[in-house]
Structures are given as structure tokens and as C-alpha cells.
């Protein structure tokens, strides 16, 4: 199970890197989504799988899953939900204002050098 | 008061919530912000006094036993940093009244500022690595709002890159936490430290150490991860820039300091060598940038990068002189960077440009500004008895003690470059032929200049009062040097 | 953008209340089983989004005249207030209180102060989601 998960996480990271290197802003954002999914699955895998035991801790029960990774993932999911939503709003505003979603055209600094 | 150490985190949070009820009433917003920040500063002073008399304060949320719940820890270093952050935010909030513009004030400028302060204070106070991630996200979300607020084209363009870089580094943070959890089975930093010294530093821990440096280095802008900083920081208006420049990178630097000293003290051979080399490269890259630009904002922004290098170089020495110097220099740099950014804000307001070539002769029209700038510039470069001197002295002493002669020499040489870069601003902006200036009314000038000058006065006091502040810094450095004090304080029950 | 599809509008009028009630069920179910404030809040927000899809923004604004940023603030205050109550009793922050009560109509019920915290989370999620969706959607 750990090996399958590792491969899946690897694929997610690879896909995320591929998408983030593309020029379209929307694909970059989807890439960040994939990246955080990979990271969340990594927490789950690293916490150790407990089979089908419940994540409940009661006195006397010996067969349970460590509940902490799931709590961590829930927190991380909520955060990445918020950040992604904000990023999408930002990207949309930038697209309206700058009239492009091509990362190549978003380069440049109007500094005095 | 078992919850005292949470007050500097909770008061800004509460203030932010109250502010969200009436975003359009600008005067009420200003009043509430100042009251909230004053309360927060008072709580931070009280906290620092308590930490100095009673030792490290720790509370584990939800009455869980220590390694299982989320622990918040306040030692002299974090209490000092919390006090400094609150103080700087108070000055910048005051400075914002005349400079940020009513449009931004109506669109959640002050709540975003308060949320960011919540995140910063939380990140300084927390003793749990995952909770640190959460507080990082709080401060980053608020900083996303601040950097894009106003919605100018340049802000939108730069904030996309800023958000992207930080989202990626957050994903790396989660990955690192996952790996750390699988190796040690705990998230409490004191507990991790205790477990690491039991099992010894294996190869996987070195990988985790490098990933931690990568994650915090992206936020703290060390070489070669600082590439995003000059462009992004120059986009927002000056008060936001001052807030970012003074506080945000320092959170990254604090996190590197805390994790490297606490989690990985056993095998300094690789990680500390790496950190030192990166620190020196950071200083060199920052020096090149600081001399290359003719833009006021860019020069000071590159000075942030130099300071990050100097502080981390002190941390990498891993002896008490180097660590004490790093703590001294960290707080000095937060204060002086805020003061410098506020002062360049005044210069930009007076001249209407941030291009050095288009200004000159301000000495005749604004002598007070000129002398304040000179004092701040000397403080930045570390001329005794001003604030930057003692920290740098200790860092160089630490470098010589640890036989890193060349590193110490580079630090000293970088001081000269820093001095040159800020004196260049002095020469171009204040000397020379007076240029036609945009000008601001005397009232606006006063309300911009007074907070900036007062903060400069605080930095002067920080330099002159070194003797009184020394006990705090010595205690902070001792805890960084001897993690067992920290571990015992957290896992005491 | 005026949508005048009769089938969607009629279905929405019924389905909206079903989703909304289900979200409240999920919210309370979170006490012992999967569910809770975050999921419940997302479901409620999705019900409102369904309204937005079927009708237009003006109609929905008239039907649900809430200021969503104020809802976020109320939610945060509830959450922080619940957690801060522990300061008054000088126990560590976030310490919750709970007990079983015999209430009329419900019988033996377990009441937990974490419930108030979760209600805060629910309001924050609804407020934040709707703020984001409206800020994109109100441009058309």
C-alpha cells in the first residue's frame, strides 16, 4: 500500500510541476492544487496506515488508527481551499486588468535601474 | 495568568474582527486599531517582563498533556520579537493614516494588517511545527490581501508571483512536516528535539533539515531563493512595504534559527556549514543589488537581503557569541528597516518620485528629514553607539571564535557596502542642486515624519541602551545554544 | 445574466431547502460522527450557489440580504469567544466544557462548548465562500 501511495504522490508532484511550468495562469493554479493534494496524501502515508480500524481513541481499545495525520490533512485542506480560492479571484482580477493570462507577458519590472 | 503568552496573539485577532464590522467608517477604524495595538504592546511588555522574571512560559492548548496538544512557548527570544513586531506595527499603523489613502482604508486595510500581526506573533510564539505552518498561512493570507489591495496593474502582476512562490513553499512545508512526523512521531518541537537527540541524526534528518532551510529560506529570502523579493516588495505602497520588509522575512529567519538550533543541534557539520555558505552568498548578492539600483525602494529592499545573510551567518556559528549577536541584530534590523522604509516614504512623498536621479537638495528644504536619515543610515551600517553596532560586533566575534575568519571579514566588508548604499541616497537626495519637488502640505509632512522620526529614536535607544537589553539577549542566546532548557520548560509535567 | 429556465428554477426552490436542511444535519452530526462546521458550511454555501445559478444575483441578494463579511466576523468572534472563555477560568486556552443534560423533547443530550466553536467555523466558511463567489460573479 505504501508503495502504491508513493507512486501516486510522485505522479501528483510530477503533474503539478509540469502544470506549474506552463504559461497559462489557470494551469499554474491547477498545478498548485495538485501539489497540495500530493502533500496531503504524503501526510496520510507518512502517518502510517491502520487498515480499516477507526481513528477513535477510547480507553481499552487497542486497534485504532493514529488520528493526528487526518486532523493535519483536514487543516491543510481547509487552508489550501482558502488559498486556491483567493488565488483564483486574484488571477481573474489580473486577467481583467492586464488582459492576459500568459505568464510570459507578466514579466518585467518598471524600475529605474 | 496561565494564558498570558497568548494575549499578543489574541488581541490583534480580536481587533481585526471588530474592525470587520464597520469597514467604511475610517475614523472609527483608526481609533480601534490604535487602541488594539496599544493593548497588544502592553501585553507584550508584560509578557517579556514575566518571561525574564519567571523563566520560559508554556501552555498546551485544550488542557492536553504536553507533547500531545499544541504547545505555545514564550522564551526571551520569542517574547522580544513579539514585542518588537507589535511596536513596529503600531508605528506603521500611525504612519498609514496619511499615506495609505482612504480607498485602501475602506477596503479592509487595517483588518488585514491585524490578521498579519496575529500570524506573525503566533509564528513567533508557537512550539508546534504544524501550528507554525498554520500561523504562517494566516500571515500569508493577510499579506496576499495587503499586497494586492488597491488593485493597480503592477500590484496585480507582482502579487501573482508572490502568491505562487508562497503556495509552493507552503506545499513543501507540509511535505517536510509529514516526513518529520514519520521519523519522530511527534510535532511538538521540544519533543522532536528530545527524540532526535535520542535516535541520533540519521541521513533522513539531514534531508529534512535541508528541506526546512528551503521552506523557510523561500520566506526569509536567502540566496538563491530571494529572486521573488525585490519585485514583489516594490509593488505595494510604502506602509505595506515597511510592514513586509520589517516583519515578514524576519519570521522566516526566526523559523530557521529556531528549527536549526532546536531540532538539529547534533550534527552541525553539514547543515550549519550549508547555512553559513548560503548566508555569505546572500550577503554578497544583496550587496551587489544594493549598489546596482538608483531606486530608493530597491536599495533598501536589497539591504533586507544583506541583513538576512548577516543574521543567519551569526546563527550558523553555533556558539554563544554568534547566537547572541544574531538575536541582537535580528531585533535591530526589524526596527531599523521599518524606520528606513518609513523615511523613504517621506522622501517619496516630498519629491514625488523614487528615482534618485530626479531628486536633490532636500537638505535646504527639509533639514530635519536629512539628519534623521543620516542617523538611521549610520544605525543600519552599525556605527557605534547606534543600534547595528553591538550585534555585528558579536557576530564577528563569534565567527573568529569558530575559526571562520573569511566569513567575519566579509561581514565587516558588507558593512561598508551597506554604508555606501545608504549614503548614496543621502548624497543624491539631500545634497546637490535642489530639484523641483512635488511637495506636500506641512500638515501631511509632519504626520508622516513624526512617526518615522520617533521610530528612529527608538532604534537609537536600542543602540545606546545595549547594556540594559543585554540580559534579554543573553538569555535568548543561551536557550538557543542549550536546547535542553527549552525542552525541560515545555515537557515539565 | 438572467436565467429563465423554468425547470431549474422550480427544482431549485425545492432542492435548496433539502440541501440546507441536510447541511444542518451534517453540522450537528459532527458531534460524534463525520461532519461538522466546515462541511456543513460548504453545503450551505453550495445551496446558495445553486440559487445563484438558477436565478440572478439581484434576486438572491433580495432573498438573502446578508453582508457576508459581517457573517465572517460574527463567526470568528463566536469561535474566538468560545476558546477565550477558558481565560476567565484560568485554564489553558481552548479548554472545553461538556456535560449531559436531560432536555425536554430531546431526552438525554450531550452538550459541548466545542459546538459553539463549530458554529463559528460554519459561519466563517459560509461567509468566506460566498464572498469569494460573489466577488467573481458580480462582474457580469
B32-68 per-position pLDDT tens digit: 999 999 999 999 999 999 999 988 988 888 888 878 8
Q: How many residue pairs bridge chain A and chain C with CB atoms within 8 Å of each other?
A: 14
Residue, of B142 and B67, whose pLDDT is higher: B142
Q: How far is A3 from chain C (nearest CA, A)?
A: 28
Q: Does A96 touch chain B (CB under 8 A)?
A: no
Give chain C positions within 8 Å (CB) of A78: 38
C-alpha cell at B285: 548578492
Q: How many domains does chain B have?
A: 1
Give domain status of residue C1, yes or no. Answer: no
- Nearest chain B alpha carbon to C95: B62
- Nearest chain A alpha carbon to B149: A90
C51-109: pLDDT as tens digits: 988 888 888 888 888 888 899 999 999 999 988 888 888 888 888 888 888 878 777 87
- Nearest chain A alpha carbon to B233: A109
pLDDT band at A113 (very low <50, low <70, confident <90, very high): very low
Backbone φ and ψ for C88, nearest 5 degrees, come out as -65, -35
User: Taking 90 as the threshold, does the pLDDT of residue B135 lie above it?
Assistant: yes
Give chain A positions within 8 Å (CB) of B148: 90, 93
Give chain C positions within 8 Å (CB) of A86: 132
Q: How far is C65 from chain B (nearest CA, A)?
A: 16
CA–CA dist B237, B403 (Å, integer): 43
B143-186: pLDDT as tens digits: 999 999 888 888 888 889 899 999 999 999 999 999 999 888 88
Chain C stretch 100-139, residues whose beta carbon is closer than 8 A to a beta carbon of chain B: none
- B2: preceding bond cis by omega (within 30 degrees): no
Substitution target in C73, C81, C90, C96 with the highest count of B β-carbons within 10 Å is C73
User: Which of C69, C77, C87 is the closest to B3 by Cβ?
Assistant: C87
Q: Do B329 and B391 touch, CB atoms closer than 8 A?
A: yes
Contacts with B163 (C-beta within 8 Å, 6 or more apart), sequence order: A83, A86, A87, A90, B144
Give chain A positions within 8 Å (CB) of B187: 68
For chain B, percent of residues with pLDDT exceeding 90: 53
Give domain status of residue C110, yes or no. Answer: yes
Q: How far is C43 from chain B (nearest CA, A)?
A: 23
What's the confidence (pLDDT) of residue B458?
93
Q: Does A68 touch chain C (CB under 8 A)?
A: no
Q: Does B66 touch chain C (CB under 8 A)?
A: no
Over residues C30-42, mean pLDDT: 85
pLDDT band at C15 (very low <50, low <70, confident <90, very high): very high
B399-452: pLDDT as tens digits: 999 888 898 999 999 999 999 999 998 988 888 888 777 667 888 888 899 999
Q: Does B68 touch chain C (CB under 8 A)?
A: no
Q: Does B187 touch chain A (CB under 8 A)?
A: yes
SS3 C110: strand
Q: How many residue pairs bridge chain A and chain B with CB atoms within 8 Å of each other?
A: 111
Q: Do B316 and B256 touch, CB atoms closer than 8 A?
A: no
User: Taking 60 as the threshold, does the pLDDT of residue B493 lie above it?
Assistant: no
Give chain C positions within 8 Å (CB) of B108: 69
Mean pLDDT of chain C, nearest integer = 86
A19-76: pLDDT as tens digits: 999 989 999 999 999 999 999 999 988 877 766 676 665 667 777 777 888 889 989 9
Range of the domain at C125: 6-137
Q: How many domains does chain C have?
A: 1
Q: Do B177 and B133 touch, CB atoms closer than 8 A?
A: yes
- Nearest chain B alpha carbon to C124: B17
SS3 B385: coil
What's the confidence (pLDDT) of residue B460?
93
User: Taking 60 as the threshold, does the pLDDT of residue A110 lie above it?
Assistant: no
- In CATH, the architecture of A2-105 is Orthogonal Bundle (1.10)
CA–CA dist C85, C113 (Å, integer): 10
Q: Does B134 touch chain A (CB under 8 A)?
A: yes
Query: Read out DSSP for B48-73?
Result: HHHHHHH--EEEEGGG--TTTS-EEE
CA–CA dist B36, B114 (Å, integer): 9
CA–CA dist B396, B400 (Å, integer): 6
CA–CA dist B440, B351 (Å, integer): 9
pLDDT band at B462 (very low <50, low <70, confident <90, very high): very high
Q: Does B409 touch chain A (CB under 8 A)?
A: no
User: Taking 90 as the threshold, does the pLDDT of residue C24 lie above it?
Assistant: yes
User: Taking 90 as the threshold, does the pLDDT of residue B287 lie above it?
Assistant: yes
Over residues C11-21, mean pLDDT: 93
User: Taking 80 as the threshold, does the pLDDT of residue B200 lie above it?
Assistant: no
What's the confidence (pLDDT) of residue B243?
93
pTM of the full predicted structure?
0.93
What's the confidence (pLDDT) of residue A108?
65
Q: How far is C96 from chain B (nearest CA, A)?
A: 7
CB contact under 8 A, C93 and B17: no
Q: How far is B235 from chain A (nearest CA, A)?
A: 9
Give domain status of residue C12, yes or no. Answer: yes
B324-356: pLDDT as tens digits: 999 999 999 999 999 999 999 999 888 888 888
Q: How many residue pairs bridge chain B and chain C with CB atoms within 8 Å of each other?
A: 46
Give all chains having 3 or more CB-to-CB distances under 8 Å with chain A: B, C
Q: How far is A34 from chain B (nearest CA, A)?
A: 10
Q: ipTM of the assembly?
A: 0.92
Domain extent listing, chain A? 2-105
DSSP state of B245: I
CB contact under 8 A, B144 and A90: yes
Q: Do B479 and B75 touch, CB atoms closer than 8 A?
A: yes
Amino acid at each position: 500500500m505504501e508503495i502504491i501511495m508513493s507512486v501516486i504522490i510522485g505522479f501528483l508532484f510530477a503533474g503539478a510541476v509540469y502544470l506549474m511550468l506552463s504559461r497559462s495562469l489557470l494551469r499554474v493554479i491547477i498545478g498548485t492544487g495538485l501539489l497540495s493534494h500530493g502533500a496531503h496524501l504524503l501526510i496520510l502515508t507518512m502517518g502510517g496506515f491502520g487498515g480499516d480500524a477507526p481513528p477513535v481513541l477510547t480507553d481499552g481499545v487497542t486497534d485504532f488508527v493514529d488520528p493526528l495525520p487526518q486532523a493535519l490533512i483536514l487543516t491543510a485542506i481547509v487552508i489550501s481551499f482558502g488559498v486556491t480560492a483567493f488565488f483564483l479571484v486574484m488571477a481573474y482580477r489580473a486577467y481583467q486588468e492586464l488582459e492576459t493570462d500568459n505568464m510570459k507577458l507578466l514579466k518585467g519590472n518598471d524600475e529605474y535601474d | 495568568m496561565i494564558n498570558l503568552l497568548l494575549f499578543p496573539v489574541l488581541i490583534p485577532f480580536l481587533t481585526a474582527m471588530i474592525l470587520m464590522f464597520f469597514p467604511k467608517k475610517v475614523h472609527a477604524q483608526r481609533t480601534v486599531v490604535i487602541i488594539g495595538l496599544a493593548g497588544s504592546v502592553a501585553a507584550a511588555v508584560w509578557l517579556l517582563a514575566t518571561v525574564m522574571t519567571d523563566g520560559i512560559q508554556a501552555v498546551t492548548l485544550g488542557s492536553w498533556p504536553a507533547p500531545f496538544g499544541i504547545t505555545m512557548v514564550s522564551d526571551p527570544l520569542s517574547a522580544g520579537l513579539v514585542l518588537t513586531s507589535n511596536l513596529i506595527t503600531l508605528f506603521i499603523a500611525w504612519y498609514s493614516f496619511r499615506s495609505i489613502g482612504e480607498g485602501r482604508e475602506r477596503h479592509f486595510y487595517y483588518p488585514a494588517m491585524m490578521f498579519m500581526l496575529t500570524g506573525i506573533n503566533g509564528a513567533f510564539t508557537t512550539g508546534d511545527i504544524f501550528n507554525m505552518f498554520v500561523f504562517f498561512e494566516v500571515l500569508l493570507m493577510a499579506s496576499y490581501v495587503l499586497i494586492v489591495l488597491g488593485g493597480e496593474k503592477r500590484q496585480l502582476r507582482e502579487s501573482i508571483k508572490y502568491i505562487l512562490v508562497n503556495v509552493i513553499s507552503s506545499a513543501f512545508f507540509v511535505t517536510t512536516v509529514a516526513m518529520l512526523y514519520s521519523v519522530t512521531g511527534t510535532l511538538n518541537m521540544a519533543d522532536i528535539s528530545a527524540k532526535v537527540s535520542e535516535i541520533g541524526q540519521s541521513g533522513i534528518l539531514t534531508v529534512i533539515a535541508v528541506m526546512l532551510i528551503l521552506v523557510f529560506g523561500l520566506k526569509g529570502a536567502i540566496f538563491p531563493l530571494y529572486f521573488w523579493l525585490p519585485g514583489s516588495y516594490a509593488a505595494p505602497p510604502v506602509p505595506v512595504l515597511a510592514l513586509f520588509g520589517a516583519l515578514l522575512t524576519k519570521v522566516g529567519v526566526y523559523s530557521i534559527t529556531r528549527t536549526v538550533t532546536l531540532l538539529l543541534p547534533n550534527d552541525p557539520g553539514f547543515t550549519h556549514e550549508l547555512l553559513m555558505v548560503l548566508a555569505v552568498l546572500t550577503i554578497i548578492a544583496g550587496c551587489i543589488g544594493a549598489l546596482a539600483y538608483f531606486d530608493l525602494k530597491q536599495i533598501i529592499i536589497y539591504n533586507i537581503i544583506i541583513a538576512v545573510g548577516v543574521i543567519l551567518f551569526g546563527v550558523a556559528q553555533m556558539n554563544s557569541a554568534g547566537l547572541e549577536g544574531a538575536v541582537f541584530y535580528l531585533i535591530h534590523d526589524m526596527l531599523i528597516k521599518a524606520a528606513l522604509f518609513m523615511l523613504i516614504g517621506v522622501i517619496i512623498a516630498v519629491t514625488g518620485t523614487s528615482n534618485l536621479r530626479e531628486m536633490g537638495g532636500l537638505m535646504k528644504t527639509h533639514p530635519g528629514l536629512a539628519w534623521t536619515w543620516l542617523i538611521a543610515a549610520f544605525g543600519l551600517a552599525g556605527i557605534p553607539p547606534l543600534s547595528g553596532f553591538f550585534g555585528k560586533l558579536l557576530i564577528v566575534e563569534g565567527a573568529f571564535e569558530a575559526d571562520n575568519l573569511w566569513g567575519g571579514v566579509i561581514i565587516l566588508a558588507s558593512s561598508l557596502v551597506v554604508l555606501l548604499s545608504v549614503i548614496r541616497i543621502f548624497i543624491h537626495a539631500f545634497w546637490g542642486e535642489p530639484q523641483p519637488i512635488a511637495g506636500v502640505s506641512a500638515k501631511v509632512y509632519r504626520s508622516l515624519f513624526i512617526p518615522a522620526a520617533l521610530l528612529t529614536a527608538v532604534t537609537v535607544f536600542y543602540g545606546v541602551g545595549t547594556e540594559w537589553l543585554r540580559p534579554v539577549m543573553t538569555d535568548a542566546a543561551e536557550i538557543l545554544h542549550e536546547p535542553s532548557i527549552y525542552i525541560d520548560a515545555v515537557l515539565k509535567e | 445574466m438572467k436565467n429563465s429556465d423554468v425547470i431549474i428554477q422550480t427544482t431549485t426552490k425545492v432542492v435548496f431547502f433539502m440541501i440546507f436542511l441536510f447541511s444542518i444535519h451534517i453540522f450537528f452530526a459532527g458531534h460524534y460522527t463525520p461532519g461538522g462546521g466546515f462541511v456543513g458550511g460548504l453545503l450551505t454555501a453550495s445551496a446558495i450557489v445553486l440559487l445563484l445559478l438558477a436565478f440572478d444575483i439581484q434576486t438572491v441578494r433580495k432573498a438573502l440580504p446578508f453582508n457576508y463579511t459581517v457573517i465572517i466576523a460574527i463567526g470568528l468572534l463566536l469561535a474566538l469567544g468560545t476558546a477565550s472563555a477558558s481565560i476567565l477560568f484560568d485554564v489553558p486556552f481552548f479548554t472545553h466544557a461538556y456535560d449531559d443534560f436531560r432536555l425536554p423533547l430531546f431526552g438525554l443530550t450531550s452538550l459541548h462548548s466545542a459546538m459553539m466553536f463549530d458554529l463559528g467555523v460554519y459561519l466563517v466558511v459560509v461567509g468566506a465562500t460566498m464572498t469569494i463567489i460573489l466577488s467573481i460573479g458580480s462582474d457580469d
